A = this chain, B = another copy of it.
Amino acid sequence: MRKFAIAIHGGAGTILRSSMSAERELTYRKALEEAILAGEAVLMKNGRSIDAVEAAIVSLEDNPLFNAGKGSVFTHDGKNEMDASIMNGKDLMAGAVAGVQNIKNPIRLARAVMEKSEHVFMAGLGAQEFAKKINAEFMPDDYFFVQHRFDQLQEAKKSDTMVLDHTVDKEKKFGTVGAVAIDAHGNLAAGTSTGGMTNKKHGRVGDTPIIGSGTYANNKTCAISCTGHGEFFIRSVVAYDISCLMEYKGLTLKKACDIVVMDKLVKIGGEGGLIAIDAKGNIELPYNSEGMYRASKKQDEELYIGIYKD
């Protein structure tokens, strides 16, 4: 049996220690711990990495602190439009949804696309119809109504800016959540989920549901989940780029992450970060922004939780 390991993120951006109260920081730390424990619980019972990834992301989606699921930001039209994707490193199966509304856990819907449809990627009304058919859990609009998100929309509308961040105190933050894991069987998995951008125009799709950009997993190399300015992550095919640097150039996970996040993305102005785990259970949590909500846990090791630059 291999040793299991799991890592999660709750978004990257301008997260400054100076603008965070001790109480607020504690709330985030508790939320990250809760999510990683939900994933770890699966792995401890010799469960599958894909189930651990789903469990951790569901926990983050259900928490209004993060821009995914319940905590999704409002689009220009005052709606919540969510994207998610998931990938299994063992067989390279994948599932993704974009622009879905009123779905309690988009990551579960992405997994259903992978397992219960002949497709990989479904968007918009068609994805909604698919959700109904498989009896996905729907929630009314008010479940997704979080006051400070609504206030953000009003503020963004005033200046007619598209806000990538989602905090009330003007931090720039890329609201995405994600998880990567390796289980005791040596199988890798990755998943990502987002509530989009405040005041975004209906229909914008970021990197979150794009296999190869926002999410990728392959037992041969690594599992990756990204968070950042999606347009740059799409153009850079970020998640698969790390896998290719390992597979074709023989780089370590750390070196591949350094090149992609700290050099290539920086050069084109692509702010953000990612979480990564390789087939040996090594974990990397690189980001080129001020901070990234992140946590990791390896079997028989201490839990790590980080928010700012260490």
Answer yes or no: A55 CB below 8 A from chain B CBs. no
The 8 Å CB contact of A121, one of B93, B234, B237, is B234
State which of A205-213, A279-287, A290-298 sits at the interface with chain B. A205-213
Pick the most buried of A118, A120, A127, A129: most chain B CB atoms within 10 A of its CB: A120
Which stretch (A28-36, A38-46, A179-187, A238-246) binds chain B? A238-246
Distance between Cα atoms of A204 and B123 in the complex (Å): 6
A242 to chain B minimum Cβ distance, whole angstroms, is 11
Copies in the assembly, this chain: 2
With A203-B126, A236-B92 as given contacts, are A231 and B268 in contact (CB-CB < 8 Å)? no
In the complex, whether A74 has a CB less than 8 A from a CB of chain B is no
Which residues from chain B contact A212 at a C-beta distance below 8 Å?
A: 210, 212-213, 234, 237, 240
Q: Is A174 on the interface with B (CB-CB < 8 A)?
A: no
Interface residues in A201-229 by Cβ distance below 8 A to B read 201-206, 210-213, 216
Q: Looking at the assembled complex, report how far the CB atom of A77 sits from the nearest CB atom of chain B, in whole angstroms.
A: 9
Given contacts A120-B231, A124-B123, A212-B213, A205 and B98 within 8 Å (CB-CB): yes
A235 within 8 A of B: yes
Question: Shortest beta-carbon distance, A88 to chain B, in Å?
Answer: 10
Residue of B nearest to A211 (CB): B234
Which B-chain residue is minimally distant from A237 (CB atoms)? B212
Expressed in whole angstroms, the Cα–Cα distance for A121 and B83 within the complex equals 13
Q: Supply 18 further A-B pairs (C-beta < 8 A) apart from A98-B205, A248-B249.
A: A119-B205, A120-B230, A120-B234, A121-B205, A121-B206, A121-B234, A122-B203, A122-B204, A123-B124, A126-B201, A126-B202, A129-B202, A130-B201, A211-B235, A212-B213, A212-B234, A237-B237, A240-B240
